[in-house]
Amino acid sequence: MAVKLLAFSGSTRAGSLNQALLDLAVAEARDRGAEVTSIHLKDFDLPLYDADLERTAYPQGARDLRALFLTHHGFLIASPEYNGSISGVLKNAIDWASRPFEDQPATIIAGFRGKVAGIMGASISPFGGLRGVTHLRQILGTIQTVVATEQVLIPAAATAFDENGKLKEALPAQLLGVMAARVIELAEKLSPPTA
């Protein structure tokens, strides 16, 4: 059985450069044999995380998202950089998805523990979203996700893609493949897929 990866971007706007980058990473992972579920966070009804809401009326969108995290071996995540960090949309999704199921202690973090993430960012800045991706790496490590050392950053992203949505420069395009391969390799070692 193939490694199952969940792919999503922290940007929900139409024409998102991070979504364009994620789409290329998804293609690379599929070319290497992974089964990839690509989702859009905008499609989930996710109010701001609130412990009272979790306790009294757990949102169905949050339940659906959390179930997806639970059933995948790893993640491909594209993170925009908002004020030197990740987007509120991305942080909120991670907060909801990291909550334990009803019969689990809070320390289990079943949707993340022992799973693998490949992270990337595209930005119009010369830093390529580095500060946001660095914060994302820290957040994921805190909730016990192994983050691949390979990451892909696209600076000056407004001019980095051609009219077909491909990266103009060969090196970052190659790095996407390297990152995808590493995520699959680590996922196979950490939680071997079973038939």
Q: Is residue 12 part of a domain?
A: yes
List, for residues 145-169, the tens digit of each pLDDT value.
Answer: 999 999 999 999 999 999 999 999 9
Q: What is the mean pLDDT of each run of 10 residues along the chain (195 residues)?
A: 95 95 98 98 96 90 94 97 96 94 74 96 92 97 96 96 95 96 96 65
Task: Indicate the burial class of 185 (C-beta count within 10 angstroms; 0-12, 13-18, 19 or more).
Answer: middle
For 126, the 3-state DSSP assignment is: coil
Q: Is residue 118 part of a domain?
A: yes
Q: Is residue 136 part of a domain?
A: yes
Q: Is residue 66 part of a domain?
A: yes
Q: Is residue 195 part of a domain?
A: no
Task: Report whether 193 contacts 35 (CB < 8 A).
Answer: no
Number of domains comprising the chain: 1
Predicted pLDDT of residue 194: 62
> The domain containing residue 81 runs over which residues?
4-190
Predicted pLDDT of residue 193: 63
CATH number of the domain residue 48 falls in: 3.40.50.360
Q: Is residue 21 part of a domain?
A: yes
Q: Alpha helix locations (H) across the chain?
A: 17-31, 51-56, 60-70, 88-97, 130-142, 170-190
